[in-house]
Chains A and B, each alone.
Chain A
Amino acid sequence: MLVHTALDRAEQVARHWVAGGCPVVIHVDRKVPRAIHDAFAARFADLPDVCFSPRHACEWGTWGIVAASQAAAEMMLARFPTVRHVYLSSGSCMPLRPVAELRRYLDARPTTDFIESATTADVPWTVGGLSEERFTLRFPFSWKRHRKLFDRYVDLQRKVGFRRRIPPGIVPHMGSQWWCLTRRTLSAILQDPDRKVYDRYFRKVWIPDESYFQTLSRLYAQSIESRSLTLSKFDFQGKPHIFYDDHLQLLRRSDCFVARKIWPQADLLYKTFLGDDAAAMKGTEPNPGKIDRIFAKAVERRTRGRPGLYMQSRFPRDNWENGVTSSPYSVFEGFTELFEDFEPWLARITGARVHGHLFAPHQVEFEGRQSTFNGALSDNALLRDYNGRAFLTNLIWNTRGERQCFQFGPGDSQFISWDIARDANAQISVISGAWAIPLFQSNRNFADLRTEAAMLQKIESEHLSALRSPWAKGRIRIWTLAEFVESPMEALQQVLDEVGIQEQRRLSEVPRMVDLTGFGQFLQNLKNQGMHPYLMGDFPVDPAPDNAQKPARKPYLVR
């Protein structure tokens, strides 16, 4: 048992092992002051089956831990000749199942070595990007205390192509440092005639406690079961996850023999698992699946996070969002202008939440024109425009699980133009030039119309260039008004297929298109005034109206 802090807990656990019939050799880190060590050792005076091995300084990632394990293992094998399996554990490990169960389990597998051991090519758990290089570079500098020197020296060796020679006959393996080896395998490793060679080599390997026994046991073991009997999970920085009182049920159901690390103040865990009434678990094989999932999820959350979430501890730089927004949504541009009852129709047919122009200049047009919306978003346009991107991402985040649709156009605040363009969740359908329809229908002075048309066209054209840029990632369809009017059903069908229609496969009900009679002439008039409306495409121009009333001609028949 390797011990360096929380000595009270270590004593408790050691006594538990002894009570279960297992002799214990304790190694106390040399960094623990002598007086504390001696007082600690004296507490075991009543237990002849506990002894203390020569002390080494154990710094993380260095040889000291291996040296400590070797010394303790040698003492164990020498002092207790009846021992068949040796279990390497630490002061923060805790047996979850009665010791007798572990003994029975090992009795049934007398020649099996339990040690996680995989070749470097096959393991994903490397910290600092070092896997194979652990075995081929030198590491004279402490990773914890002199990180910069450590990194620089690694880089230098890479640059000059330095490679250490791996001693012949061994293939580097890695795995959890917590093993349970048979006397046969362990003594073969410790008494190997070449041990000096191996020790000298591993002394300079990076994190040798994860590779020394893991590699050498491959030379001698009769049957290796490549897994650790100790449940020990690591986070993304290579630090072990810690167990607390609220993990009690999880640990109980894991059926694992030993778990680490336990928080020293997890009183309930210590009371439950080390108490006299510790209940035997039913399962025979350890089953840490659920714990694995929880910790894997924690690592995932720390490294990838929840897509589309912006908050106090997740504020990704541009293009590192892993999704600008959290879920798919649809943007319609020009549809409400072309169809009279587009919003209610779209809501009916898709079942989605259909808003008006969310970015309208004076007020946010939430569905039903509510004054607040999910997440207590306000309909105040100033608040919205203060951070347009946050407004959009908040809206989509707040309504997770429900598809949002909204209208957009050149009359709106354009802050989010680029954000929606580069958002893979955005489905953007544009009928370009449709903004001219309300102008056409209005009864305003033509000079004003002409100015406004020019402005809207300029804004929409900038927006379209964002949508057409190589950075655009949304699902984007752009029709000119002329194209759309030519075959509106086909275009609508395409759009709706992507939104997901609730009921019918083919459109049975269509929205009503506004009357465009005279629209071609309206465009012609703009042209005649020197403005060039081009975004609506080649719109058919109706014949120029005559000012004079034509006399009604009598139809005639051709015989």
Chain B
Amino acid sequence: MVADRTGQIGRNDILLFCTLRNEDVRLPYFLQYYRQLGVNHFLVVDNDSTDGGREYLAQQPDVSVWTTAHSYQKSRFGVDWLNWLQSRYGHDHWTLVVDPDEFFVYPFCDTRPIRALTDWLDASSIRSFGAMLLDMYPKGRIEETRYARAQDPLEIASWFDAGNYAITRNARFLNLWIQGGPRARAFFADKPKQAPALNKIPLVRWDRKYAYVSSTHMLLPRGLNLVYDEWGGEKASGVLLHTKFLNTLTLKAQEELERRQHYADSKEYKAYAAGLAGNTNLWCKWSEKYINWRQLEILGLMSKGNWA
């Protein structure tokens, strides 16, 4: 435990849980973004950072920090750490689980704080809220971008794939399995089955009986995974803007490859390292430039459902 401010957590506070490693450069904007949405407290597991990010977090008035040098892989990619923290501090709170490069967008997020959403979910007896991962990328070569500390990463990675996602239903956990986007197109075209999962359920009214199964892709009990409608209607949903594809990635991919701490023997990072060495440009002529949540809702990537 590096900084314990959990005593400040109020009964109705909205909590953000996050695990990270060497993300110092992203932290200022990350905190700013979620403070502005109305997150009340940040609970962070730092996996042995060496870039000063942990010390920076420890100084923040609304952040509690734990640190561990243990294996990310053995903790099932951080899920175990977070499940423990959530069961300890998240019970009966609305909890948001995101990575430092993920920015949560929900209907009306430009005019309504996240509390408006959670109040509405409470009133509608909804316990979990889906937000698929939308990979954002720059126009041009990734390693030529220059992300500066505290900068909005969407200024650089402002493009995305609007309509190439494939969905199947996971009969075992009842969640949807979404694949596609630029990663499938550029890194996994010859092995589409291995393309990363994009379905996520980051916002949950937590109960100590709940648990994330793998990352935030699926939950137990299974009913929490039913964030989609099966009879033709649309449930409300959001998007996690994933700003991984910046110049910071090349370094990270190299390091992660050496550490071999990621899912399925770091297949994904291998693919990046290979792709990025070849100067991958994810941008294509049909890429869409990000404007706001309304654009995403018109494109059918998220939905207002019956929230108006």
Interfacial residues, chain A to chain B (CB-CB below 8 A): 235-237, 239, 241-242, 244-246, 263, 265, 294-295, 297-299, 301-306, 309-317, 320-322, 371-378, 380, 382-383, 386-387, 390-391, 394, 397-398
Contact = CB atoms under 8 A, between A and B. Distances in A.
Contacts of A314: 228-229, 232-235, 303
Interface of B: 108, 111-113, 115-116, 119-120, 123-124, 130-132, 161-169, 176, 178-182, 184-185, 189-193, 199, 227-237, 284-288, 300-308
A474 to B, nearest CB: 19
18 contacts: A244-B116, A246-B111, A295-B308, A304-B232, A305-B233, A312-B132, A312-B301, A313-B229, A314-B228, A375-B161, A378-B164, A378-B185, A380-B189, A382-B190, A386-B192, A387-B166, A394-B165, A397-B300
B129 to A, nearest CB: 9
Contact of A313 (B123, B165, B228, B286): B228
Given A309-B300, A315-B230, A320-B232, A398 B306 contact: no
A297 B228 contact: no
A8 to B, nearest CB: 15
Highest count of chain A CB atoms <10 Å: which of B184, B233, B301:
B233
A275 B82 CA distance: 46
A265 B163 contact: no
Contacts, number: 177
Contacts of A316: 229-232
Contacts of A373: 286
B232 A311 contact: no
Given A265-B115, A313-B302, A397-B300, A242 B232 contact: no
B193 A312 contact: no
B308 A294 contact: yes
A406 B180 CA distance: 23
A299 B306 contact: yes
A375 B166 CA distance: 12
A377 B302 CA distance: 19
Contact of B176 (A241, A315, A398): A315
A68 to B, nearest CB: 21
A376 B228 contact: no
A237 to B, nearest CB: 7
B167 A242 contact: no
A241 B305 CA distance: 12
Contacts of A317: 230-231
Nearest to A301: B234
Q: What 7 pairs across the A-B complex have the smallest Cβ distances?
A: A375-B163, A302-B306, A313-B237, A387-B166, A298-B308, A376-B161, A386-B192
Given A265-B115, A301-B303, A312-B237, A321 B308 contact: no
Given A378-B184, A380-B190, 9 more contacts: A301-B304, A305-B303, A314-B233, A315-B169, A316-B229, A372-B285, A373-B286, A376-B162, A387-B168
Contacts of A298: 304-308
A376 B306 contact: no
B135 to A, nearest CB: 11
Given A320-B230, A375-B286, A312 B176 contact: yes
Contacts of B167: 310-312, 315, 387, 390
B185 A245 contact: no
A244 B112 contact: yes
A312 B178 contact: yes
A386 B193 contact: yes
B306 to A, nearest CB: 3
Nearest to A248: B111
A297 B176 CA distance: 26
A230 to B, nearest CB: 18
B193 to A, nearest CB: 7
A313 B189 contact: no
A242 B120 contact: yes
Contacts of A320: 230-232
